[in-house]
Amino acid sequence: MHRRLWRASVSSVAVLVTAVSAPALAVAEERADGGTTTTHEPLPLERLFDNRAVSDDKRPGRADFDGAGNSLSAQDLRAAGWSPGSTLDLDAATLRWPERRPGQPDNVRADGQRVRLRGAGDAISFLVAATSPGGAAGEVSGSGTVRYADGSRSAYTLRAPDWRGGPLATKSVALPHVNTATSGQLDEKAKLYAVTVPVKKGREVRSVELPRDPGRDADLHVFAASLRAGSPGWTGSWSASPAGYTDMGGWRDRTMRLVVHTSAGGPKARIRLENTFASTPVEIGHASIAVQGEGAAAKGAPVPLRFGGRDGTRIPAGARAVSDPVGFSVPADTNLLVSIHLPGPVAAAPVHSQAIQRSYLSEEGSGDRTGEAGGGAYTASTSVWPLLTGVDVRGGPGSVVALGDSITDGVKSTEGANRRWPNVLARRLLDQNEVPRYGVLNHGISANRIVTDRYPGDGVSTDTGGVSAQHRLERDVLAQTDVRTVVLFEGINDVRWDTTPEQVIAGMKAIAQRSRERGIRVVAATIAPCEGYHDCTAEVEARRTKVNDFIRENGGTFDAVLDFDAAIRDPERPQRMLPAYDSGDHLHPGDAGLRRLGESVDLRKLAG
């Protein structure tokens, strides 16, 4: 029942009592008409907890998350690394899982409560889930208010997917069971979500008012909230998107030496690791960074990296870890070696599958090799990037994100040559003084789409096409290091796989709107031609043309437009790529075509 009414017998009369939130500090405020009204001072979120979501598997009846006797498993949470009081870095926001025992109040049902939240940042992150009868709502939403130190306010809309009926693609963690008070444990996914809402940049936040009770027997539950501080003073130099969660064959006590190519340089460095799509934590024993010499050998002694002052770290399921800044001069436009010791076991890991780069692995059981300058211990190789998602440098003007599919990912370019069009763009930015020398972050995923998920977002899979651009936008764009501009170049896979132009256009509009709400400049690129590829039919061409017409017309959706279609099409037959730019499969440009795309970018459009 809504608001969890409970029944007691008093002198044989049934009395209904409504559960209430923890008391807030009441104060009197003077109204404009000279009267007074009672308001409440904001309280820490945990003082407002009024619902029990987590139960021990042996005592499931001590929690009731959804009013029907169902709850989250404390054992499943611990297995995922979400133990009471755990600090979780979710999409660059630090959130704390409630430090409560199973059966204690651990979340608040949003109903206009004022939460104390102080500081500045680029967004507020909420750890949430909705409950509704049978998960039927799919999503529960409501409007709230952010209050600032200068007396101003801003409105926001918080949308929480249902803990049972919501999507896997955007979840922070999925637990394997649902506890019930009467039917034992169900083999059904229970999901929790980190959702961000924008705040006014540069203004000090004092509190946030949660949305009002949504009614309809549905509740929006908040477990944690924090300000996402952003990354001032840092620039992203290299990045890659988690594209799937693949079987690693049971790695144990092994060191990866991953080769990545920088864009911007700087005097200090840090790395970002993400355990995206996972159901269990991963242990990092040691890590280091170095400039590549030959193969797996470093030019000098690798510089050790630490995490919160420690040699290694444990990354919970769905979370990320950022290393402490280290005094290591990162050259621009250069290959680095990032070495990561995995004490193991590692059965599966999030990967970026199309690295277009050879990296190196030590033998199973060979121990920590992160400190070795020589490459002799690295006797195996890999063509994927597991776990590592970013290298940041200190200083610089911020980052440009290239959000795309296989053409942005560099499929069909020369392995190890760094000839992807974002690499070309990065070199052009380094060689000029007209606009800021942004770092360039490549978030292309081969086979990715704007509208639908290729990889479902959970579980071990051989599919590494990623969740949709809309579903990964928070992680791959909004949470990236000091991002200033996003270049959206995607859609060919949608129109090839029967997505309507109207759906693609709606997806582009949604990406643009969400990005611009966060102060990010949005530049859209037209979809390249593909006649001659086996499924690029006349119908596909008609869809592509309609989407490109929308992009060129713009209508204020985007801050600027790049005509990648015009840059590489054959003037004599515009529905196909110019043969000189074609890799040979008629869908992917080769090195020359990718160079042409990178060189066609008007750099002024990146900065406005």
Q: Which residue has the tokens 């405020």?
A: 29
* Residue 135 pLDDT grade (very low, low, confident, very high; cuts 50, 70, 90): low
Residue 209 in this model has a pLDDT that exceeds 70: yes
Residues belonging to the chain: 608
Domain presence at residue 598: yes
Tokens of 281: 């934590």
Q: How many CB atoms lie within 10 A of CB 347?
A: 14
Among 228, 251, 282, the domain-final residue is 228
Gyration radius of the chain's alpha carbons? 25
Of 223, 162, 164, which Cα lies nearest the Cα of 190? 164
Are residue 195 and residue 265 in the same domain, yes or no? no
Q: Kindly state whether residues 218 and 257 are assigned to the same domain.
A: no
Q: Decide the pairing of beta strands 70-73 and 54-55.
A: parallel
Closest CA to 393 of 313, 334, 309: 334
Task: Tell me what pLDDT residue 214 has.
Answer: 87
Percent of the chain scoring above 90 in pLDDT = 91
Q: What pLDDT sits at residue 137? A: 60
Residues 385, 485, single domain; the answer is no
Would you state the pLDDT for residue 236?
Answer: 98
Average pLDDT over residues 361-382: 98
What is the predicted pLDDT for the residue at 321?
98
| pLDDT for 7 beyond 90 | no
Q: Which residues pair with 72 in a beta bridge?
A: 54
Tell me which DSSP letter residue 474 carries.
I
State the total domains in the chain: 3
How many CB atoms are closer than 10 A to CB 539?
Answer: 12
Is 33 a residue whose pLDDT tops 70?
A: no
- The better pLDDT of the pair 18, 423 is held by 423
Question: Is 62 domain-assigned?
Answer: yes
Distance CA(272)–CA(259), nearest Å, equals 14
Nearest residue to 607 (alpha-carbon basis) of 420, 400, 442, 401: 400
Model confidence pLDDT, tens digit, residues 501-551? 999 999 999 999 999 999 999 999 999 999 999 999 999 999 999 999 999
Do 196 and 311 belong to one domain? no
Q: Please, which pLDDT band fits residue 8 given cuts at 50, 70 and 90?
A: very low
User: Is 449 a member of any domain?
Assistant: yes
Q: Are 244 and 463 in contact (CB under 8 A)?
A: yes
Same domain, 261 and 283: yes
Could you tell me which of 311, 369, 309, 359 has the C-alpha nearest to residue 335?
359
Average pLDDT value over all residues in the chain: 93
Round to whole Å and give the CA distance between 283 and 215: 43
Q: Which two tokens stand for residue 19?
A: 């559960």
C-beta separation of 466 from 447 below 8 A: yes
Mean pLDDT for 474-499 is 98
State percent of the chain over pLDDT 70: 93
Element (H, E) at 538: helix 538-553
Same domain, 176 and 263: no
Mean pLDDT value across residues 156-178: 97
Count the Cβ atoms, other than its own, within 10 Å of residue 510: 15
Distances (CA, A) of 505 to 232, 552, 569: 33, 12, 22
In 3-state terms, what secondary structure has residue 575?
Answer: strand
Which of 26-35, 39-48, 339-348, 397-406 has the lowest average pLDDT? Answer: 26-35
Do residue 328 and residue 344 come from a single domain? yes
pLDDT at 154: 97
> For residue 17, is pLDDT > 80?
no
pLDDT over 50 at 249, yes or no: yes
Mean per-residue pLDDT, 471-486: 98
Residue 6 domain flag: no
Same domain for 310 and 405, yes or no, is no
Q: Is 37 contained in some domain? A: no
**Average pLDDT of the segment spanning 180-193:** 96
pLDDT at 15 over 50: no
pLDDT, tens only, 54-83: 999 999 999 999 999 999 999 999 999 999
Rounded-to-integer distance, Cα 54 and Cα 41, Å = 28
Q: Is 10 among the domain residues? A: no
Asked if residue 554 belongs to a domain, the reply is yes
- Domain holding 448, by residue range, is 397-608
Whether the pLDDT of residue 36 is over 60: the answer is: no
Structure confidence at residue 21 (pLDDT)? 36
Minimal CA–CA distance to 357: which of 379, 386, 331? 386
pLDDT at 16: 26
Dist CA 402 CA 409 (whole Å): 9
Among 362, 392, 422, where does a domain finish? 392
Three-state secondary structure call for residue 134 = helix
More confident residue, 140 or 19: 140
Same domain, 195 and 260: no
Residue 27 has pLDDT above 80, yes or no: no
For residue 479, is it left (φ>0), alpha (ψ between -120 and 50) or beta?
A: alpha
Statement: residue 28 has pLDDT above 80: no
Task: Give the C-alpha separation, 170 to 266, whole Å.
Answer: 33
Domain end, chosen from 170, 198, 228, is at: 228
Q: Is it the case that residue 35 has pLDDT exceeding 50?
A: no
State residue 32's pLDDT score.
Answer: 36
Q: Give the mean pLDDT of 477-504.
A: 98
- How far from the centroid of its chain's Cα atoms is residue 552's Cα? 29
Evaluate whether 496 touches 529 at the Cβ level (below 8 Å).
Answer: no
Nearest alpha-carbon partner for 397 in 227, 121, 606: 606
- pLDDT at residue number 136: 64
Residues 354 and 456: their CA atoms lie apart, in Å, by: 18
Residue keyed to tokens 């709107």: 513
Task: Please determine, for residue 22, whether its predicted confidence score (pLDDT) is greater than 50.
Answer: no
CATH number for the domain spanning 410: value is 3.40.50.1110
Examine residue 564 and state whether it is found in any structural domain, yes or no.
yes
The 10 Å CB-count burial string (b at 16+, else e) for 40-68 is eebbebbbbbbbbbbbbeeebebbbbbbe
Residues 577 and 499 placed together within one structural domain of the fold: yes
Query: For 74, which DSSP code?
Result: H
Cα–Cα distances in angstroms (integers) from residue 467 to residues 242, 247, 401, 454, in the given order: 9, 18, 17, 6
Closest CA to 378 of 418, 338, 349, 348: 338
Going by pLDDT thresholds of 50, 70 and 90, the confidence category of residue 259 is: very high
Q: Are residues 431 and 553 in the same domain?
A: yes
* Residues β-bridged to residue 193: 128
- pLDDT tens per residue, range 545-588: 999 999 999 999 999 999 999 999 999 999 999 999 999 999 99
Same domain, 135 and 251: no
